[in-house]
Each structure stands twice: as C-alpha cells, then as structure tokens.
Structure 1
Amino acid sequence: MKWIISVANFLKAYYSISPKKKSLEQIEREKYLYKKIPFSRYMIIPCAFAVQLCCGSLYSWSVFNIPIEHELNLTEGKTSITFYIAVGIFGFSAAASGPCLEMYGPCRTLLASCLFIISGLLISALSIYLKCIALLYVGYGVLCGMGFGIAYLTPIAPLQKWFPSKKGMLSGIAVCGFGGGSMASAQLAAYLITKIGVSMSFVVLTAIILLIMIPSSFILRTPPGPSEARSKNECLKDIKSVLKGSAETTDLVDEENIEVKLEENTCQINKFIQYIESKTINMEFIEALKTREFIFMYLTLLANSCFGILIISKLQDIAIQQFGVSYELATHTVSVNSFFNLLGGLVYGALSDIIGQRPLLITSLGSQIVIAAVTPYLLQKEGFWAFMVLMWALSSFYGGGFGIMPAFLNEMFGSKNLDALHGVILTSWSLVGVVGGIVFSLIYKMEVDKGTPVKHRYDINLYWICCLTSFGLIGCLFIRTNQRDRLMPPIVGQLARLRIHNNLLRLQWVSKKKDDIEWEEYCKCMLEKIKLGQLEVCNS
C-alpha cells in the first residue's frame, strides 16, 4: 500500500512542475537560428507539419504486415500485434512527456523522441535480419511507439503559444501532417520493400526521419513570455454590465461613471479576475483533470476516434471482401481516404477559430452516428461508391477531431498545462485503438465462425460503435464552454443545464412543497384576475 501512495505522490509532484522561465541570455539567443540568421515564428509552421509527417508513418504499418509474415514465416495476424503495441504506447508516452516538454522545451524533447524512433527502427531492421519477432515488438512497438507519441505532442504547444489568435487553424495544419504522413509513407514503404527488402526499408526510413526531425528540433521554440491574458477582457465586460445594471436605478448609466467605478475598485476587480482565471484558464493540472469539462472532452475524443480508427484500418479489406472490388481500386480509395483525413484536420481547425470547437464536435459525432446507422444497409445492398463517400466523410470527421482538440484544451484550460492535458487526452485514442481493436476483431471472428453471411459480418460492431458515439455526443453537449456556466453554482433542485446558442435549458427537480406553493400562487393570481374582472368565466 505504501508504494501506491509513493507513486501517487510522485505523479502529483511530476505533473505539478512549473514551466522553466527563460533567462535573458536564452531569450536573446533564440532570436536567431544560427549566428545572424533571424528566427521568425512562421518557421514553426512547416517544422510542425514535417514532424507530424514523420509521426504519420505509424499509420502505414499495414504495408509491412504481409512482407514481414512471409520473411519470418509467421502465421497471419502476428505482425499486426506490433501496431497495437505501438498505438497503446503512443498515447501513454505522450501523457508522460507533457511535463518534460514544459520543463526542457520542444528542442530537447524532440531530440529525445528522435532517439527513441531511430533506435526502434534500427532494432526493427535487426529483428528482420535475425528473424526474431520479439525484437520487432520491442523495436517498433515499444520504442517507436514512445518516440512517435512524444514527437506528436512536441510541436503543438509552441504553435498555440506563438499564434494565440489562430490556435485552431495552426494546430489543424500541424495535425493534418499526420494524415499526409500516413499517405506518403505507405507509398514510400511499399516501393522500398519491393526494391531493397523489408530490413533495409527500415534503415532508409531511419535516415529520412533523422534528416527531418533533427533540423526541426533546433527551430522549434516557445515565446519568451506568457502568451495570454485572455479572460481579462471578458471579465471586465461582465463587470461593466453588472455596474451598468446597478446604475440604472441611480441614473449613472454613462460609460464615464462606470470607468470611475472600475478605477475605484481596481484591487477587488483584479482579485476577482484572478479567481476566475484560477477556475478556468489558470487551473492546476490535477484540478483540471478532475473537472467535468475534461472528463467529457476525454469521452468526446474517444468517441470521435472510435469509428475512424476501427473501420478505416479495415477499409481495404471491407472494399475487397464485402464489395468484391479489385486490389488496385481498393488501394486507390484508401489513399483518397487519407487525403480526406488530412483535409478534415485543416478545415475543422480553421472553422474552429470562427464558430468554436464544441459545435464542430457535436456536428462530427452526430454525423458519425448517422453514418454508423446507414452503413449496414449499404453493405447489404452493395452500394460501394455510396459507402466510400460516407467513409471519406467519416475520415474527415476523424481527422477534424484531432485537429481541433489542442485548441479546445487551450480555450478551456489555458496554455499553462496544455502539453500535459493534451498528452493525457491522447490516451483515449490509444485505449480505443487497442481495446476497441481487440473487441472489434473478436466479434468479427465470432461472426465468421458462426457462418454469418458476408454482408452482415460487421453489423454488431457497427451497432456498438454507434452506441459509443452516441454517449460521446451526449457528453459533448454537457461540456460548459461558457465562462458563466462554469462558475455559477447550480440552482436549488437543478439536475442538469445545457446551453443552446445563447439560451440556457435547465432540468430541475421540484419538490412537492414547492409544487404546492406554485399552485397556490397560481390560484391566488387567477382569483385576483377574476375579482378585477380581467378574466372572463363562461357559465354553462
């Protein structure tokens, strides 16, 4: 029991690490890339995209499955375990690296991730040479999974901090590189395997990633000072409206008197703003984890990832087995699917800066529920192109969710703990990739063993995915993005409240006593109206 307490205390201390303040020398040094070459914040954008391209190579693993099985004389499915290990490690390594990123900065963190990836790829090459599948699990599954998880997280926070007014669009651009990487690396890996074999393909990929990540690490950096005091203007606006409302009874409605009142109460107002920030964009990491908002955001990303990661990874098999299309056509449609994944991150990221992240996530989850409900019918009727159009739309929603989540976390909790919170929320993707993937495969195998017709083998999986996505949609509806909703306590008897546009919908429990009081007040009101002749009563 003592060791559990010790681990808990260590984790609490680790995730409470404050960002390291930059010295004047470091600030001056970071104004330049090298000697007299000046640094520009716009250099961060292509670097972030390039790093995400490298991380996206994780999604091209399916290209290696069959060649490795032939090379090592393995039974079908053994090499795919490597991918599940990498996906599982990916999210949890991202979660663990958040405080390190805050403490040591993006340059050192990306160099560390690069070391893991290079070691993993070289061990993978050695595993093929020695014909040892266990080495492949360790090399690609564990080490590359760790490296890609850390590298994925590293460029996002610098982008958010350098471009606070374009958080959604810039994180969308970076994350869409992940989709682009899966598309490009799949084609490259397939070409390399046919030309130089599996083992040497890993060596060439090592060199390419090295050439991209090392220069990028020396360009990535964070701003010299804090990037936000975002809630202050919103708070002052609310305080002004309160003063204006109280001034209506004393004829002091003009702006000049309100400004005077603000100056007279500067100390109290600043304390009030600090209190609001401590409950919203300046929370401690542990406090943020326990909020209703973060829990629902975690569920939302998990639900938004579920359909995408489980169905899209089987898309080529579905196209061939369910619809009987050629291998070439199936491969081509999957490549187009990667493009829509990339496009979704870009478009959703840009739109989120205009209309907000929550409405887009609600739209995404609602659309996925419809797609999950319609897909069994299309599989039954063999409507291939209609099915592919829905899958392309699904892929854009899947990419869009990842594109806007960093900006959503920043909006809700500020940039103080963005790295750590983003890392933790990525574990939802790992969970659904590993646990969901196992459940999906077991159910599909059960349907095959039962002799279920080919057209109906995915039905049960689609039903439970639809249910999980529905839970995610409900959770997303109850994420309180409005500062007023997050701070105001519930009224007596309130069960739930939901903001729809600018209006508030409350679900309230009314006791019998209160119900009796309300009925008595209604009866008194009606009797008074009858007495004053304001209500006509028809005599029968």
Structure 2
Amino acid sequence: MNSTLNQGAVHGPTSFFSKEATIARPGFSRWMVPPAALAVHLCIGQAYAFSVFNAPLTKIIGITKSAPDDWSLTTLGWIFSLAIVFLGLSAAFAGKWLEKVGPRRTMFTAACCFGGGFLVSALGVYLHQIWLLYLGYGVIGGIGLGLGYVSPVSTLIRWFPDRRGMATGMAIMGFGGGAMIAAPGSVALMNYFKSATSAGVAETFVVLGVLYFISMTIGALAIRIPPADWKPAGWTPPATAKKMITKNHVHIDQALKTPQFYLLWLVLFLNVTAGIGVLGQASVMIQESFKASITAGAAAGFVGLLSLFNMGGRFVWASASDWIGRKTTYFVFFTLGAVLYFLVPQFAGSGNIALFVLAYGIILSMYGGGFATIPAYLADMFGTAFVGGIHGRLLTAWAAAGVAGPVLVNYVRAFQVSHGVVGAEAYTMTLHIMAALLVIGFVCNLLVSRVHEKHHMNTSAQTAI
C-alpha cells in the first residue's frame, strides 16, 4: 500500500471508537473495507424481508389461527412503515455526526440500535404490546437502519477514489441481498421455535437481534479510514478535474444551498418512485397479466428473480458508472426505463412472458443501480469530505418515494377498476405514468451541472480535512 499510510499511524491516547483510532496503519489493505461494509449492509437488508413475520404476528395468541385479540395486518403494517421513516430521518439528521465521529462509532451505534430493536420487539411479542414493536423495530431499529446504511459509504469512496461506483455498489448490493438470507433464515427459526404455546416469533427476534449485533459490530471493528493524503498505489489523480468530477469539497450545510442537491434529490426520487411502485405489486401484476399460465408459486419465483436483478444491478450499474460517468448512467436509467414501462403492457397483451419478465428484470436492476450510483454521483459533485452526511440528507428522497410510489400505483389502479377496467389493463395507465415520471427525471438529470466554485470550501479548510 502507498507509503503515505505511514502518516496514518495513531499517536497519543485516543478512544477506541474515536475517528482518529480508525486511521489505517501501514500495510492495511483497502480490500478489507468492503467486507466490513457488507457485514453491516447484509444485516440491515433484513428490512426487505420483514413481511415474513406478518402472518405469524397475527397468531401470537391463537397460535394456529388468529384469535379475537390478535393483531391485524393493518396494525402490523405500521412497524415497517415506521422503520423506513426513521431510516430516512436518522440518515438525514445524523450526517454531521457521522462525519465528526467517524464510521466505527456510527456503525457500532447502528449495531446497538438494530440488534436492540429486535430485543425490544421480542419483549413486545412476549407481553403482546404493539407499542413495543413500534418502538423496537420501528423507531430504534429504524435508526439503526439509517445509521448502518450511510456509515460505510463515505469511507468506501475515500478508499476507492479510482473506482467510487464499484466500491459503493459492493456495499449497497448487500442491502439488496440481505433479504435473500433473512427471509428463509427467519422462517426456519420460527419453525424451530414454534410450539403449542408459541408462534416462535419472540424467540426468533432474540436470536436475530444477537446475531445482527455481532455481525454489525465485527464490521464496525474492522472498518478503517485512510489518512488525509492517501491514494491507491500506482494511481495518479487526473491533473485536471473531469467535467463532472470536482477536486474540491463542499460543506454539508452549503450543499443544501446548491441547485445540484435538489436536482439530484429529484433524480433519486423519480427513479425510486417508478421502481418501488411496481415492486410491491409485481406478484399480483404478473398473475393478472397471464392468468392462464402463471400460478401463485410461479409469481413468487418471479418476485425472487426481481430481487436478484435488484441486487445485481446495484453492483453492475454502479461499476459501469465508473467508466461511462454517473450522469450518463442515469440517462440510461431514465431513457431505457421509460421505453420499457411503455412496452410492458404490450408484452402482456401479446402473451409474451419472457419479454415481460426480462423487461421487469432490467427495470428492477436500474432501480437498485440508482441507489448504488447516487453516492458516487454526490462525491463527484460535492467532493468526498462530507459525502456521507450529504448522502444521508438525500435519502429523504427514498422515504418520500416509499410513500409516493405505492400510493400512486394503488390509487390509479383503484380508479381504473372503479371505472370498469379489469385485469392487467388496470395497470396500463400506471405504467404509462411511471414512464412519464422517468421522462421528468431525464430532464432533471440533464440540468445537473458542476457546482459553482462559490460553494467550495477554501483551500485552508480543505487542507485541514
């Protein structure tokens, strides 16, 4: 590793969780950082699998079937909603704190919150107090989700200035794939603990809380940050900055005063709204489109396949952005996405299952790719000094899209059905609206330009970072 690592040795007494204590010493390999990030993201990706607990939670008292005093699905639905809300809030408001204290303390705090949230929820199941599940998984666990999501990102970007997209793609891919481990694992644990007097949920929450705390803590202990002047061996920064990549830094508060921040907020919001809106209806949509040939089991397989595209797209598209540029990558998302949304109803109408599945697979790969590419896009525009905090604030677009997307799909479909439109045709207008949203996203991305130099930190402040 580069000789400048010698300057990264920690001198004097420091707290083990302090930012200074995480500065890499000579010989540290930057390839140790992505596994540390994955140790966190694979855990918090469990959020996408929380629905496996919904049915068992409606039978905590009845065990085999719901009793009169058992919770309803509508009551339980607020648990996940609260978690996503507090993911966005914690990511947005903890940004400055993350940059101040460093990734290790933030990741360990995330481990305590996410693991602890499961334990509080287990107590809520045991006592049959829904407010404890709201507090545990929804509020405390949601804070853990937000802190865990953003904490490794800025560190990865600093370790991989030559491949920012690939680095963030590796970590955020873990968030997309975490549910693939959590869903079958949670079901297996509930079946193991299930008895005549227990649905197995409380015991499963305890085991998951402990396991996730251990895994996320290992990631926190393994994380390191590079010295201020470190660069990869054999890599020389370009003598002049590329058109859309700055060599300067913008303070987190100053970033909010730039039009670029709000354009990128809309870019992420529109890309996520289009993807998340149909993701929740994918199973129903394919069954209604191909009633004669798609069973419920086949539809579940389709949803699983979309998860693979979602996960793979996070790495593939983010890595590709290192070569073609972030702006160009989003141009592909918005152009290709709009075309595919427009064509999907035609594929369904012609009975072409293969093209229908392929189109949705590509759409979901770009949905995941949007999440993984945006941190590198922010680093290009605002520099790396405060990218973790800026990324956290931009994630409010995710929280907003998480509400707008499903609401748009559900209400437009309901409007169509109420006017006599049946089956797959009820989704045609929705898909065309999604295509229109992506066209708007194309325009927003087109308007993104380099941040004006008046927003840059002065030279002395940048040197001190």
Q: Shared topology, TM-score over 0.5?
A: yes
Match of 1:133 among 116, 119, 130: 130
Q: Structure 1 CA distance, aligned partners of 2:258 and 2:20?
A: 39
Q: 1:393 aligns with which of 362, 368, 382?
A: 362
Change (3 A) 1:94 1:22: farther
Displacement after TM superposition at 1:227 (Å): 5.2
CA-to-partner distance for each residue in 1:35-71, whole Å, 9 max, x for gaps? xx96432211111122111121111122222222343
- Alignment gaps of 5+ in structure 1: 1-20, 239-276, 489-540
The match for 2:271 is: 304
> C-alpha distance in 2, partners of 1:232/1:209?
41
1:233 pairs with 2:220: no
Matches for 1:366-445 after TM superposition, within 5 Å: 366-445=335-414
Aligned partners of 1:31 and 1:38 also within 8 Å: no
Change (3 A) 1:232 1:323: closer
The answer as to 2:323 corresponding to 1:354 is yes
Shift of 1:367: 1.4
How far is the alpha carbon of 1:161 from its aligned partner?
Answer: 0.8
Choose the corresponding residue for 2:11, options 15, 20, 24: 24
Q: Letter of the aligned partner of 1:314 in structure 2?
A: Q
Q: Quick one: which amino acid aligns to residue 24 of structure 1?
A: H
Q: Which amino acid aligns with 1:312?
A: L
> How many matched pairs?
423
Rate the CA distance shift 1:460–1:126 in 2: closer, same or farther, 3 A: farther
Name which of 9, 33, 41 aligns with 1:44.
Answer: 33
Cα distance in 2, alignment partners of residues 312 and 91 from structure 1? 20
Amino acid at match of 1:342: M
Question: 1:186 and 2:183 equivalent?
Answer: yes
Query: Distance between the aligned counterparts of 1:338 and 1:330, measured in 2?
Result: 13
Do structure 1's residue 115 and structure 2's residue 112 form an aligned pair? yes
RMSD (Å) for aligned C-alpha atoms? 3.0
In 1, are the aligned partners of 2:23 and 2:224 still within 8 Å (CA)? no
Please, which moves more after superposition, 163-172 or 282-291? Answer: 282-291
CA distance in 2, matches of 1:320, 1:191: 27
Equivalences for residues 208-227 of structure 1 within 5 A: 208-226=211-229
**What one-letter code is carried by the residue in structure 2 that aligns with 1:101?**
L
> Does residue 168 of the first structure (1) align with residue 165 of the second (2)?
yes
Residue 424 (structure 1) shift = 0.9
Unaligned runs of 5+ in 2: 1-7, 61-65, 194-199, 455-465
2:283 aligned with 1:316, yes or no?
yes
Amino acid at match of 1:206: G
- Contact 2:79–2:134 under 8 Å retained in 1: yes
- Amino acid in structure 2 at the alignment position of 1:417: F
C-alpha separation in 1, matches of 2:264 and 2:236? 21
TM-score by length of 1: 0.72
**What's 1:87 paired with?**
84
SS at match of 2:227: coil
Letter aligned with residue 349 of structure 1? A
Per the alignment, in what secondary structure is the counterpart of residue 79 of structure 1?
A: helix
* 1:198 corresponding residue in structure 2: 201
Q: Does the 8 A contact of 2:417 with 2:426 survive in 1? A: yes
Deviations 1:364-415 (A, max 9, x none): 1111111221223334445433222111111110111111111111111101
Counterpart of 1:50, as a letter, is A
Q: 1:24 & 1:409 partners in 2: Cα distance?
A: 32
Query: How is 1:237-252 mapped onto 2 (pairs within 5 angstroms)?
Result: none
Partners of 1:192 and 1:371 in 2: CA distance: 40
Alignment correspondent of 2:256: 289
Change in 2 beyond 3 A, CA 1:31/1:74: closer
The alpha-carbon distance between structure 1 residues 94 and 41, as it changes in their structure 2 partners (threshold 3 A), is: same
TM-score scaled to structure 2, two decimals?
0.83
Match of 1:339 in 2: 308
Q: Counterpart amino acid of 2:240?
A: E
Shift of 1:32: 7.3
Deviations 1:177-232 (A, max 9, x none): 11111222122122223332222221221122122111111111211224589988
Q: Residue 11 of structure 2 aligns to which amino acid in structure 1?
A: L
Deviation at 1:438, TM superposition (A): 3.2
Give the distance between the partners of 1:192 and 1:317, measured in 2 at CA. 28
Cα deviation for residue 143 of structure 1 reads: 1.5
Q: Residue by residue, what CA displacement relative to the aligned partner does 1:424-448 show, whole Å, maximum 9, x if unpaired?
A: 1111011110233334333444445
Does structure 2 retain, via aligned residues, the 8 Å contact 1:171–1:407?
A: yes
Tell me by how many angstroms 1:308 deviates.
1.6
Superposed CA offset, 1:344-377 (max 9, x none): 1111122111111110111011111112212233
Output the CA distance in 1 between the equivalents of 2:371 and 2:78.
24
> Is the CA contact (8 Å cut-off) linking 1:156 and 1:406 kept in structure 2?
yes
Match of 1:461 in 2: 430
C-alpha distance in 1 between matches for 2:262 and 2:319: 25
The separation in 1 between residues aligned to 2:255 and 2:247, in whole angstroms, is 8
CA distance in 1, matches of 2:285, 2:191: 25
Are the aligned partners of 2:41 and 2:172 in contact in 1 as well (CA < 8 Å)?
yes
Report the alpha carbon displacement of residue 135 of structure 1 after superposing the two structures with TM: 2.4
Give the 3 Å change call, closer, same or farther, for CA 82–362 of structure 1 in structure 2: same
| More displaced 10-residue stretch of structure 1: 417-426 or 137-146 | 137-146
- Following TM superposition, by how much is the alpha carbon of 1:31 offset from its aligned partner in structure 2, in angstroms? 6.8
Q: Is the 8 A contact 2:9 2:24 kept in 1?
A: no
